[in-house]
Amino acid sequence: MRKKIYILVSLMMLAALLMTACGPKTEEPIEEVEETGIDCMGAEEGDEITMLYQWSGAEEENLNQILQPFVEACGVTISAESTRDQALLDTRVQAGTPPDIAFWNVTQLQQYKDQLFTMPELGVVEENYPDFWTTLGSVDGEWLGLPVKADPKSLVWYSPANFDEAGYAVPETWDALESLVEQMVADGQVPWSLGFESADATGWTGTDFIQDILLVTQGPDFVRGIIDGSVPYNDPAVAEAWEIYGKWATSEEYTVGGADGTVSTGFNDAILLVFSDPAEAMMVKQSGFAGGTIRETYPDLEYGTGYAFFGVPGVQGLQGGSDWMMAFSDKPAVKALIAYLSGEVGGQKWAEVGFDLTPNEAGRGMYLNDELQDKGEILYGAEDYVPDIGDSIPGGFGSAEFTGVTDYVNGSRELTDILDTLAGIQAEALGE
Amino acid sequence: MAKPKASAVMKQGKLTPWLYLLPALIVMTFFIVYPMINTIALSFQNKDGTASAATTCKEGEPCWGIFENYRYALTEELDTTSFTSFWNTFWQSSYGNTIQWILIMVSGTVILGLLIALLVDRVSYEPLAKSLIFMPMAISFVGAGVIWKFMYNFNAGRTQIGLLNAIISGLGGDPVAFISNTDINTFMLIVVGIWMWTGFCMTILSSALKSVPEELLEAARIDGANEFQIFFRIMLPIIMPTVVVVITTMVINVLKLFDIVYVMTGGNFETEVIATRMYTEMYKNYQTGRGTAIAVILIIAIFPFIIMNIRRFMAQEAQR
């Protein structure tokens, strides 16, 4: 009896399955593709792209939003993994099972140069990228990575309200900035908030500032020279930049709390000192994230009136971080993704989502908030873009640089001694 | 017939202890012996363990050949041009700082611990007082470092949120940059160490004090000894073995000390100790050879104290 019922039930289920299988197929999204302007490069429905990146949480959500039109148009599946551990990527690449796409730092282009496909052979839309981006992403003359996200550091944050009240104008040149600083001191104001305490990375805000000064006084080629080792770190021009910075960072007239204040004020607190009431300083030099810090503590401040920024005046190239997309595969879906992100639609979408800035010039003017829009103007108007010296030199140069600037401001070592030590580490790191 | 049986027992007796020891020996080999041998081997090699340390020598600079990493570890922080410069740089170096830590922290924790143990012995709220003193031990080093970073906070702005500086400026004084002022910062960090470890010393010394026979003290009092004499002539000699163990344990603790310095200054402002310097060379500068050389020096420095402690334990075992 029971057996019969089972047979009956299974027959019915089989029939039901067959019926659904024979049902009308879902519509092909071909027409939609033309509307969206996304070229799928022959990628087929159900193709898979494997990805590895460092983003998680809100950042990962941003990326998903940016990729969504592409995923919908081409029907590819993206299987992504998020990790902060570069060793994972290293292991996969060495084992011969890399992801199709990795989003990582510019130094990985050099590291994986033998495994990567070049951007032109993957069909990148070149005209959306100025030369300095392709140069930065090239190894031995081959363009290997697509810059997808940029975070310029050469920014000075200030309170427009306080500037108006005191009658100060945003400086257009380095000389104007220097005289503005002197003007502020003469008016009894403290111009800078240079605090750079950051646990065991104390000093990084200082080295960022020094690199910006070098970009003003010497330019991007000089900074790249330091990174590749052709300019030793104890070059007199470097010493000069340290002294310009040191004059401000060690004096109570120029920065909150003088040398003690610089070494012991946390970098986040240093940002806030400019926007407290009453303000303790007029300006703070800090990367793009400062806007978020300000909004979090002072939600009432509006961008443009309560807080704003200007690019470090006179820099001959921006300093900043950037994220790069590199491809270990040249299958159609990967080509389609690169075409999408480097093209009009992807660039605009990146800007609309507002995941920092996209170096893709199609994003220009497409940001939905003023702060990113203005930051974008600084990025798209830049003559050049150089990465952080400390991040780019392998080994312990970065942390030695932090310690160096901390010792310098605290007065525990002579500048020449510090720079000689750093030049030694630089030579050792790049010599081998 | 009885003879072979006895020898079988003997045979078994030789092997069995090793079988019992085997799991411990395997674990020890994997986690202590092998890493230690590897550390020593790496300390004679270059930064990534690919060539001998002698290859890292530079022309025109002093070189100790295969001991090059040890030259770096021992002399790099020192300025040996004159005796004064050597003396000054020594006390700023990780070795000088570690010695300061040992001298001040060990004496501080042991003396304070003993004093508190003695005093609370005479009051009715002893358990409460002891738990208060012991409480910092329950906090992790990192937590304590963060707490005291706030205590010492120096605010460049107008308001002081650090407790000590709030008090100082409240009384009309100028705020002090406790952490970055190189004259006092190592001492200020040692205070944190003392705050954490006094409870440990107090607990052990207190139990030792309680084991001093009451009759002895009674007898001494009847004979007319005052409390100071009782302490120095009777109690202290009796608890001396425990005091020595506490001292050696504390010295080992302090030699290994890392967290407080790492959290509060990151080794900046001339507060580096041997363990933080080892970390910096190893994980921030990626200099495996130099890092391991410092580790070996640290092992050698700790060794005598470990031997002292083990001898002590053995002597106690023998007494039983």
Range among A212-226, B147-161, B224-238, B277-291 rated most confident: A212-226
Q: Which own/partner contact pairs does A276-279 have at CB distance under 8 Å and 24+ positions apart?
A: A276/B157, A279/A159, A279/A162
Token pair 């909150």 is found at A256
Which element (helix H / strand E) includes A321? Answer: strand A318-327
Kindly tell me if the per-residue pLDDT of A24 is higher than 50.
no
- Asked if residue A159 and residue A260 are part of one domain, the reply reads yes
Cα radius of gyration rounded to whole Å, chain A? 26
- Asked if residue A301 and residue A235 are part of one domain, the reply reads yes
Is A21 within the bounds of a domain? no
- Asked if residue A304 and residue A227 are part of one domain, the reply reads yes
Dihedral angle of Cα B188, B189, B195, B201, to the nearest 10 degrees? -120
AA identity, residue B254: V
Distance from CA of A334 to the nearest CA of B (A): 36
Kindly tell me if the per-residue pLDDT of A428 is higher than 50.
yes
What is the number of domains present in chain B? 1
CB A384 within 8 A of CB A304: no
B142: Cα within 13 Å, side-chain hemisphere: 2
Are residues B262 and A410, on separate chains, in Cβ contact within 8 Å? Answer: no
Alpha helices per DSSP H over A285-432: 290-297, 332-342, 344-353, 370-380, 389-392, 397-410, 415-431
Is B56 within the bounds of a domain? yes
Size of interface A-B (CB pairs under 8 A): 78
- Phi-psi region at A393: left, alpha or beta (left = phi > 0; alpha = psi -120 to 50): beta
Mean pLDDT for B275-291 is 89
Percent of chain A's residues with pLDDT above 70: 92
- Asked if residue A171 and residue A49 are part of one domain, the reply reads no
Distance from CA of A382 to the nearest CA of B (A): 33
Q: What is the mean pLDDT of chain B?
A: 88
- Asked if residue A139 and residue A49 are part of one domain, the reply reads yes
Cβ-Cβ contacts under 8 Å, A269 against chain B: 155
- The candidate with the shortest Cα–Cα distance to A346, out of A356, A288, A131, A336, is A336
- The candidate with the shortest Cα–Cα distance to A211, out of A199, A223, A221, is A223
Reading the block at residue B43, the tokens are 């300390």
CATH code (residue A126): 3.40.190.10
A interface test, pick of B72, B285, B287 with most A CB neighbours within 10 Å: B285
Angstrom distance (rounded) from CA A97 to CA A89: 10
- Asked if residue A417 and residue A287 are part of one domain, the reply reads yes
Is A7 within the bounds of a domain? no
Kindly tell me if the per-residue pLDDT of B169 is higher than 60.
yes
Is B47 within the bounds of a domain? yes
Mean pLDDT for A272-288 is 93
Pick the residue from chain B with its C-alpha nearest to A260. B177
Cβ-Cβ contacts under 8 Å, B157 against chain A: 256-257, 265, 273, 276, 280
Pick the residue from chain A with its C-alpha nearest to B270. A412
What is the number of domains present in chain A? 2
- Asked if residue A186 and residue A300 are part of one domain, the reply reads yes
- The candidate with the shortest Cα–Cα distance to A147, out of A131, A162, A128, A133, is A133
**pLDDT at position B33, please?**
94
Angstrom distance (rounded) from CA B129 to CA B144: 20
- Asked if residue A191 and residue A54 are part of one domain, the reply reads no
Are residues A202 and B157, on separate chains, in Cβ contact within 8 Å? Answer: no
Which element (helix H / strand E) includes A142? Answer: strand A142-143
- Asked if residue A43 and residue A133 are part of one domain, the reply reads yes
Task: Judge if ipTM > 0.85.
Answer: no
Are residues B262 and A200, on separate chains, in Cβ contact within 8 Å? Answer: yes
- Asked if residue A304 and residue A214 are part of one domain, the reply reads yes
Tell me which of A22-31, A274-283, B39-48 is least confident: A22-31
Question: Tens of pLDDT along A180-239?
Answer: 999 999 999 999 999 999 888 899 999 999 999 999 999 999 999 999 999 999 999 999
Are residues A257 and B157, on separate chains, in Cβ contact within 8 Å? Answer: yes
By Cβ distance, the residue of A256, A273, A410 closest to B269 is A410
SS3 call for A215: helix
Q: Give the residues across from A386 on adjacent strands.
A: A319
Are residues B268 and A406, on separate chains, in Cβ contact within 8 Å? Answer: yes
- The candidate with the shortest Cα–Cα distance to B208, out of B117, B119, B314, is B117
AA identity, residue B45: Q
Is A200 within the bounds of a domain? yes
Is B293 within the bounds of a domain? yes
- Asked if residue A115 and residue A221 are part of one domain, the reply reads no
Is A102 within the bounds of a domain? yes
**pLDDT at position B1, please?**
47
Angstrom distance (rounded) from CA B5 to CA B252: 49
Mean pLDDT for B221-234 is 89
Reading the block at residue A313, the tokens are 């005046």
Is A372 within the bounds of a domain? yes
**pLDDT at position B3, please?**
52
**Domain membership of residue B63 as a residue range:** 42-76+287-320
Question: Tens of pLDDT along A79-132?
Answer: 999 998 888 998 899 899 999 999 999 888 988 999 999 999 999 999 999 999
Is A3 within the bounds of a domain? no
- The candidate with the shortest Cα–Cα distance to B243, out of B232, B229, B257, B254, is B232
Token pair 């039901």 is found at A16
- Bond before A278 cis per omega within 30 degrees: yes
Distance from CA of B186 to the nearest CA of A (A): 14
**pLDDT at position B8, please?**
53
- Asked if residue A301 and residue A258 are part of one domain, the reply reads yes
In a 10 Å sphere around its CB, with 0-12 CB exposed, 13-18 middle and 19+ buried, how is residue B264 labelled?
buried
Tell me which of A31-45, A355-369, A407-421, B90-104 is least confident: A31-45
Kindly tell me if the per-residue pLDDT of A362 is higher than 50.
yes
Is B10 within the bounds of a domain? no
CB A50 within 8 A of CB A99: yes
Is A230 within the bounds of a domain? yes
- The candidate with the shortest Cα–Cα distance to A177, out of A313, A316, A378, is A313
**Domain membership of residue A267 as a residue range:** 155-316+393-431
Kindly tell me if the per-residue pLDDT of B157 is higher than 90.
no
Which element (helix H / strand E) includes A6? Answer: helix A2-22
Are residues B177 and A264, on separate chains, in Cβ contact within 8 Å? Answer: yes
The β-bridge relationship of strands A145-152 and A318-327 is antiparallel
Question: Tens of pLDDT along A62-74?
Answer: 999 999 999 999 9
